[in-house]
Amino acid sequence: MAAQPLIPVTPSTMKELKDTLWKAADKLRGSMDASQYKDVILGLVFLKYVSDAFVERQQNIRAELEADGGYTEDDIEATLEDRDEYTGSQVFWVPEQARWQYLADRAKGTESATIGELVNEAMKLIMDDNPGLSGTLPRTYNREGVDQRRLGELVDLFNGAQFSGQGAHRARDLLGEVYEYFLEKFARAEGKRGGEFYTPASVVRVLVEVLEPKSGRVYDPCCGSGGMFVQAEKFLEAHGREGSDLSVYGQELNERTWRMAKMNLAIHGINGNLGPRWGDTFARDLHPDLRADYVMANPPFNIKDWARREDDARWRFGVPPVNNANYAWMQHIISKLAPGGSAGVVMANGSMSSNSGGEGDIRAQLVEGDLVSCMVALPMQLFRSTPIPACLWFFAMDKGAGARGSADRRGEVLFIDARNLGHMIDRAERALSDEDIAKIAGTYHAWRGSASAERMAYEDDPGFCRSATLAEIKAAGYELTPGRYVGSAAEAEDGEPLEEKIERLTNELLEHFEESVRLERVVREQLGRIK
């Protein structure tokens, strides 16, 4: 193979990448629905990234060998084709016919193949040579409905996006951020269905910051596009830990979403076990022997059609009702926790107080079993995909001192009412700020006596948080709505004596009465002149 000249690389800024790639999405928007063009665009984003990273590594190898001296051109060429030189640096091996330049040179197709067929073949070649990507990448580029002319224009447009130039790790960061940005944009475009694969990042961050998954096994039984795992990895990076400290396990019912999750994990360099294929967690648990240190999940709310068996061993606290799987999800999650494990689950608000179908009895058993550690009421409009208000349930298998905290909280539950937090990012959607997330997580860790609380002492804050005993919860009929326990925020004291305040307000009221009489007289005079 002839030597390739070094190509000057100018890394794209995040804004440039997002603008370029979203313009690319617009090119297909008119010819197919959101779910179709999502697969097309995300696949091309991934293909461009792996090719950019490969070429950058290839150029670096050549530069290193040439600088070292003593290597013939044949030696250099042989080294450039040694896949270990790439995979050892966390760069995917990309066969020649899957490299971006090869496709860009044939963006209008060839005499024997359309550009869609060429892209499909590129995806196959990459999966064949990188077993970790097996069954992950889309091969839908030559299907009826994919406009080949527009697809060729897409490939041309993607030439303006550059994922390399600052090393493989930075390239991954860029791609990861772009991928998450696209997932969010596509979730908004798809409306309700978008919620099946995307949980708002600020909600995921609350789960992660409260649970603090630093090492061990992390599980999500309805993992969507893998957002929980990505945020867990970011938490580790923020605390100077390696992603290898976590083992990731997940399951997803929807085939396309499962593939998206596999690609998302590959993009972020996460080695996750999402099962050999997609599948229904209730019908067939793909990780039957798993006992996880952390579970994070956003199950679909209030699903009525689910694979229910009354003799299921997971229903330790009661058989969930036929027409609602909320308490099935929660019991499945608890069944997956190792001794000392903890979980955070997004649920519909109704789960905190519903008594239909025996749900109230199951909730009572969970409370009496001392498994509920914290309940958080979330603000409205965090989920664009559903108007249903949501809350967070946190479970802990051990709330004693020493189990992830110095405070013994057995027999207590922390209630946090966060409904007044957050800010509107547009007319339809709210998000939690960094400060909001820190307030919720900091309150929990102070209550728990966690090391991250930095010796902050927990105190009840009327209107926001309160630690309640199991006896109090029982007296309230086992309802777990935070507003029932935290009460109202204390009114600020103005320092004015009560008798003086009453006299002042009375005088002000009399003055208003006198002004009202005066204005009435003026109006009558004006009306008289009109006559």
Q: What is the CATH number of the domain that holds 149?
A: 1.20.1260.30
Tell me the residue length of the chain.
531
Q: What is the mean pLDDT of residues 264-293?
A: 91
Segments forming the whole domain that contains residue 341: 197-486
Q: Which residues contact 495 (CB under 8 A, 6 or more apart)?
A: none
The mean of the pLDDT values for the chain is 85
φ, ψ for residue 312, nearest 5 deg: -65, 130
Helix/strand/coil (H/E/C) assignment for every residue in 81-121 = CCCHHHHCCCCCCCCHHHCHHHHHCCCCCCCCCCHHHHHHH
Based on the fold, state whether residues 233 and 155 are members of the same structural domain.
no
Q: What pLDDT is stored for residue 242 in this prediction?
A: 62
Q: What pLDDT is stored for residue 2 in this prediction?
A: 41
Based on the fold, state whether residues 475 and 503 are members of the same structural domain.
no
- Residue at token pair 């179709």: 36
Based on the fold, state whether residues 157 and 220 are members of the same structural domain.
no
Between 114-118, 155-159, 498-502, the lowest mean confidence (pLDDT) is in 498-502
pLDDT tens string 2-56: 444 333 344 456 677 677 667 666 666 666 665 667 778 888 888 988 888 898 8
Q: Is residue 7 part of a domain?
A: no
Based on the fold, state whether residues 336 and 361 are members of the same structural domain.
yes
Q: Is residue 438 part of a domain?
A: yes
Based on the fold, state whether residues 242 and 381 are members of the same structural domain.
yes
Based on the fold, state whether residues 326 and 287 are members of the same structural domain.
yes
pLDDT tens string 182-217: 767 766 665 544 445 568 889 999 999 999 998 999
Out of 121, 155, 181, a domain closes at: 181
Judge residue 415's burial from the number of C-beta atoms within 10 Å of its C-beta, 0-12 exposed, 13-18 middle, 19 or more buried: buried
**Cα distance from N-terminal residue to C-terminal residue, the chain:** 103
Report which listed range, 93-97, 130-134, 136-140, 391-395, is most confident. 391-395
User: Would the pLDDT of 237 be above 70?
Assistant: yes
Q: 299 and 222 in contact (C-beta within 8 Å)?
A: yes
Q: Is residue 517 part of a domain?
A: yes
Q: 132 and 264 in contact (C-beta within 8 Å)?
A: no
Based on the fold, state whether residues 96 and 169 are members of the same structural domain.
yes
Percentage of the chain beyond pLDDT 70 is 85
Q: Is residue 478 part of a domain?
A: yes
Q: Is residue 263 part of a domain?
A: yes
User: Would the pLDDT of 245 be above 50?
Assistant: yes
pLDDT tens string 279-309: 999 999 999 999 999 999 999 999 999 999 9
Distance between CA atoms of 471 and 475, rounded to whole angstroms?
6
Distance between CA atoms of 418 and 379, rounded to whole angstroms?
6
pLDDT tens string 313-356: 999 999 999 999 999 999 999 999 999 999 999 999 999 999 99
Q: What pLDDT is stored for residue 453 in this prediction?
A: 84
Q: Which residue has the higher pLDDT, 214 or 515?
A: 214
Q: 274 and 261 in contact (C-beta within 8 Å)?
A: yes
Based on the fold, state whether residues 404 and 475 are members of the same structural domain.
yes
The verdict on pTM exceeding 0.75 is yes
- Among residues 12, 349, 53, 391, the alpha carbon closest in space to that of 203 is found at 391
- φ/ψ bin of 262: left (φ > 0), alpha (ψ from -120 to 50), beta (otherwise): alpha
Q: What pLDDT is stored for residue 42 in this prediction?
A: 80
Based on the fold, state whether residues 295 and 413 are members of the same structural domain.
yes
Q: Is residue 395 part of a domain?
A: yes
pLDDT tens string 42-71: 888 889 888 888 988 899 999 999 988 888
Q: 366 and 317 in contact (C-beta within 8 Å)?
A: yes
pLDDT tens string 443-487: 999 999 998 887 788 999 999 999 999 999 999 999 999 999 998
Q: Is residue 95 part of a domain?
A: yes
Q: What is the mean pLDDT of residues 368-395?
A: 91
φ, ψ for residue 494, nearest 5 deg: -100, -5
CATH code assigned at 465 = 3.40.50.150
Q: What pLDDT is stored for residue 13 in this prediction?
A: 66
Based on the fold, state whether residues 257 and 394 are members of the same structural domain.
yes
Based on the fold, state whether residues 419 and 521 are members of the same structural domain.
no
Q: Is residue 4 part of a domain?
A: no
Q: What pLDDT is stored for residue 307 in this prediction?
A: 93
Pairing of strands 272-273, 292-297: unpaired
Cross-strand pairs, 413? 468
Q: Number of structural domains, the chain? A: 3
Q: What pLDDT is stored for residue 391 in this prediction?
A: 97
Based on the fold, state whether residues 126 and 233 are members of the same structural domain.
no
